[in-house]
């Protein structure tokens, strides 16, 4: 009896597999059977992984949520105040990450010691306001004042670019090309067009107090090394 039941199950499984193979043979090539549910998109899958199984804020009352939000704001304000104080005092440990490091500090010291006249860019820009107001009443004066101011803008921008390029040359020669921080050039350019008291981080050196490795001989050596490097690549 047991043998009969086992044989019946075996015959049934064989018939099922035969039916499945016939059905697959009748389907066109490249056919994919439909799924029970649509495949989730990549964003939906990432969202599902990030979402916690049990929300930590779900069990909090309104008063507890307000207290938690107030604590977060207080912590954020404390960090901001600490960073601003570090930018004013030169405490590099608590500065924002984009201002840390000996390479950035050396580059800032070189720009600050150079004292380019492009630092008067913003004060000169403020002179445009009264000139614009006087344009209708004194058009001739406003015209020549505008020409003078735009000429000054052009010269200041050119000098700021030259200072940044020289700083970049010295930094790569002193610390290596691989150690040149990203976006440092934009930081230095913005520093060149601000007065020392307006700069953040605040200058730690005075005019003429050039950092080590920024003499005329160093500039000459850096240029020669750059030329040799280009010749070697060719």
Of 135, 123, 134, 110, nearest to 204 by C-alpha is: 110
pLDDT at 208 over 90: yes
**pLDDT, the chain, mean:** 83
Q: Are residues 96 and 106 in the same domain?
A: no
* Bond before 201 cis per omega within 30 degrees: yes
Confidence class for position 52, pLDDT limits 50, 70, 90: low
pLDDT at 59 over 50: yes
Q: How many domains does the chain have?
A: 2
CA–CA dist 74, 16 (Å, integer): 69
Query: How many Cβ atoms sit within 10 Å of the Cβ of residue 129?
Result: 9
| Domain hosting residue 144, numbered range | 102-232
In a domain, 223, yes or no: yes
Instruction: Give the single-character DSSP code of 234.
Output: -
Which tens digit of pLDDT belongs to each residue from 159-185?
999 999 999 999 999 999 999 999 999
pLDDT of residue 36: 58
Which tens digit of pLDDT belongs to each residue from 86-115?
999 999 999 999 999 999 999 999 999 998
- Domain-terminating residue out of 77, 100, 123: 100
């Amino acid at each position: 009896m047991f043998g009969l039941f086992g044989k019946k199950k075996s015959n049934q499984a064989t018939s099922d597999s035969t039916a499945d193979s016939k059905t697959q043979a009748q389907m066109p090539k490249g056919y994919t059977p439909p799924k029970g549910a649509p495949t989730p998109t990549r964003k939906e899958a990432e969202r599902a992984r990030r979402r916690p199984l049990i929300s930590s804020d779900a069990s909090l009352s309104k008063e507890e949520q307000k207290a938690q939000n107030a604590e977060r704001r207080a912590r954020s304000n404390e960090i901001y105040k600490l960073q601003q104080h570090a930018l004013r005092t030169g405490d590099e440990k608590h500065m924002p990450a984009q201002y840390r490091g000996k390479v950035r500090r050396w580059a800032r010291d070189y720009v600050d010691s150079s004292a380019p006249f492009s630092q008067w860019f913003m004060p000169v820009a403020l002179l445009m306001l009264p000139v614009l107001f006087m344009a209708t009443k004194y058009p001739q004066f406003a015209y020549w004042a505008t020409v003078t101011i735009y000429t000054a803008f052009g010269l200041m921008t050119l000098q700021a670019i030259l200072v940044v390029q020289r700083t970049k040359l010295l930094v790569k020669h002193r610390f290596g090309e691989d150690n040149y921080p990203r976006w440092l050039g934009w930081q230095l350019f913005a520093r060149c067009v601000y007065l020392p008291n307006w700069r953040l981080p605040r200058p730690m050196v005075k005019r003429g107090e050039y950092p080590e490795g920024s003499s005329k001989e160093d500039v000459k050596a850096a240029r020669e090394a750059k030329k040799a490097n280009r010749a070697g690549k060719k």
